[in-house]
Amino acid sequence: MSRVSVVGSLHLDILVEAPRLPAIDETLAGRAWSQKCGGKGGNQAVAAARFGAQVAMGGRIGDDDFGKTLLANLQTAGVDVSCIGTDAAAGSGMSVAIQDAGGEYGAVIVSGANLAIDAAAIERDWTSLWRADVLMLQNEVPDAVNLAAAKAAHTAGARVMLNAAPAKVLPAALLELVDILVVNRVEAGQMIGQPIHAPDDVARAATALHRPRQHLVITMGRDGLYLAAPDGSASLQRAFSVKTRSAHGAGDCFCGALAAQLAFGDDLAVACRFAQAAAALFVAASPDEQAVLSADLVQAFLKQAERTA
């Protein structure tokens, strides 16, 4: 059984559907709203479990209804929640996302209890998390928490995967412990201080972000992904052509699927191809269909794609 541990954020997302994103000072009439369990950590943990991995998560929720909902969602997905604490003072994390008619979205996050994780205590208190094949991190908890988790997992022999989202300047000590860095092209551009518009821009960003002994994955949506190996060699993997229903959560689906396949022992390029297929199915699916995505459905999609290529 492949083992994936996740240290990260838990947010309850309020998703508002609107014809477009509002302008500053504008009040825009929306079509509908819905509630969804989120946070990059929680989303990626659920996705990794959905695609067959044995998943455990470390995080923090508030002592409130949002927290109860978030915890129940993880348990329903089969995620081990024994390392998720409850904060009596800080509220659970939440976000408000606006999704436009084309399926694109923007969001505002209020992190709450996610910022109250005690970095000094997790190495001792979350020992079960470090016995994993892959540890998955994101940028929605304090850097000190990610650094403590990466040190503990690295010492125990786990591969450390960081989805550096949202983009920000990262501590060099953390980057030294990261085996696989995953960013999308917007985040890559933000990290190097230059926007990415063309394939040459992606290659330039990869050169700037590349570190010895580290794999780099830059996802580009419909344009595929750019994969750079520790020795500096690079390849471009094409995307699957699907009709996008909603892009909300696609990056987390990709990361969870990638971590699961790496934990199963797949080569990174093969794992990325599986993750691309999982994300393609995800963006084309309804919420009910997203909830039942599985490794079998992804493998069937890959076989069909091979036959029609």
Task: For residue range 18-75, list pLDDT tens digits in order.
Answer: 999 889 999 999 999 999 898 999 999 999 999 999 999 999 999 999 999 999 999 9
Show contacts of 263-270: CB within 8 Å, 24+ apart. Answer: 263/2, 263/3, 263/4, 263/48, 263/53, 263/132, 263/133, 263/134, 264/2, 264/52, 264/53, 265/2, 268/180, 268/215, 268/217, 268/227, 269/227, 269/235, 269/237
Task: Report the alpha-carbon distance of residue 67 to residue 264 in Å, rounded.
Answer: 31
* pLDDT level of residue 1 (50, 70, 90 thresholds): low
Q: Which pLDDT band holds residue 214 (cuts at 50, 70, 90)? A: very high
The packing angle between helices 268-284 and 250-263, to 10°, is 150
Rounded-to-integer distance, Cα 160 and Cα 80, Å: 19
Nearest-angstrom CA–CA distance, 115 and 259:
24
Number of domains in the chain: 1
Which pairs count as long-range contacts for 98-101, CB under 8 Å and 24+ apart, including other chains? 98/16, 98/18, 98/21, 98/22, 98/30, 99/15, 99/16, 99/17, 99/18, 99/246, 99/248, 100/18, 100/19, 100/20, 100/21, 101/18, 101/19, 101/20
Confidence category of residue 183, pLDDT binned at 50, 70, 90: very high
pLDDT at 87 over 70: yes
Q: Which helix (H) or strand (E) holds 62?
A: strand 54-62
3-state SS, residue 262: helix
Angle at CA of residue 212, ends 208 and 216, nearest 5°: 60
In the predicted model, what is the mean pLDDT of the chain?
93
What pLDDT, on a 0 to 100 scale, did the predictor assign at position 142?
96
Q: Minimal CA–CA distance to 56: which of 117, 5, 125, 123?
A: 5
Q: What is the pTM of this model?
A: 0.91
Range of the domain at 50: 3-308
Instruction: Tell me how many degrees the CA angle 211-215-218 measures, rounded to the nearest 5.
Output: 100
CATH number at residue 110: 3.40.1190.20
Share of the chain above pLDDT 90, in %: 78
Average pLDDT of span 1-15: 92
> What share of the chain has pLDDT > 70, as a percent?
99
Looking at residue 144, its pLDDT comes to 97
Highest mean pLDDT among 195-204, 216-225, 240-249: 216-225
Determine which of 3-12, 103-112, 147-156 has the lowest per-residue pLDDT on average.
103-112
- pLDDT at residue 309 is higher than 70: no
Contact present, 85 and 149 (Cβ < 8 Å) = no
pLDDT tens for 285-303 read 998 999 999 999 999 999 9
The DSSP code for 114 is G
Residue 179's pLDDT band, with cuts at 50, 70 and 90, is: very high
pLDDT tens column, 124-146 = 999 999 999 999 999 999 999 99
